[in-house]
Structure 1
Amino acid sequence: MRNFINEFKKFAFRGNVLDLAVGIVIGAAFTTIVSSLVEDIIMPFVGMLTGGHDISALSINIGTAKLAYGSFLQAILNFLIIALAIFIFIKIISNAAAKFRQEEEIEKLEIEIPAAEKYLKDIRDLLAKETSPIDLS
């Protein structure tokens, strides 16, 4: 049993698992915000374009069955807007991360260049001090 608990601790406290948990919590909160944006701000404008009709209330009666396709359209619109918002958010973060990595690489190059320049200067000085001409024949 103790071995099981130790294995669980190793699993649960690895960086990837914690990152995933944080991502899920933030994603759920983000979904709520974007859903509110769709339902409370965007859909009223869509309703105005459709003559004041609530899209989620659209339906067709076929016999005794009621096909509420408006709710489905609302869900599709919610999904598309949430997917777009998440895409933009991830794009911004990945661009910032790429810029940060690029700045780190530039700093590494700036640190490494002086050493290379020093070696090249040493080689130049050694070649300049050499007094014997090179015989090409």
Structure 2
Amino acid sequence: MLRGFKDFIMRGNVVDLAVGIVIGAAFTGLVSTFTDAFLHPIINRIGGGGTIAGQVSIGGHQTLNWGAFITAIINFLIVAATLYFLVVLPMNKLAERRRRGQEPPPQAPSEEVKLLTEIRDALVRGGTPEQRRGQDVPVYPSDAPEGVESR
């Protein structure tokens, strides 16, 4: 599985890229909140705590914000792994089944579909056996509602 994940990251497939852009854009807010709420405090703790943890002064008022960079890497890995395991891997398995001719069996028709099929077939055949023999069959039974004539 991890080899497939590595191949996905390294591959330049346009479909995978499109899936990544669409779902990644929708998923980014959730991942950003997760990393800000849970992972960023851990990075601050490792970096010495306080509000400036994860930063290195390079002279003057210039700093390198390595904590934000680590957070961005974690965001990317979470989004990429989620996309791979929830979208790409199942899509690849389905494509492999289709190549081998093992598509999932079609669903059995529901009772309503079976009944509608029988009605259609009866209409195509010309109705009931009495109607096919040319006998006049009443549309309604003899106790038809008042004002409705039987045929």
When the two structures are superposed, what TM-score results if normalisation uses the length of structure 1?
0.47
Whose helix proportion is higher, 1 or 2? 1
When the two structures are superposed, what TM-score results if normalisation uses the length of structure 2?
0.43
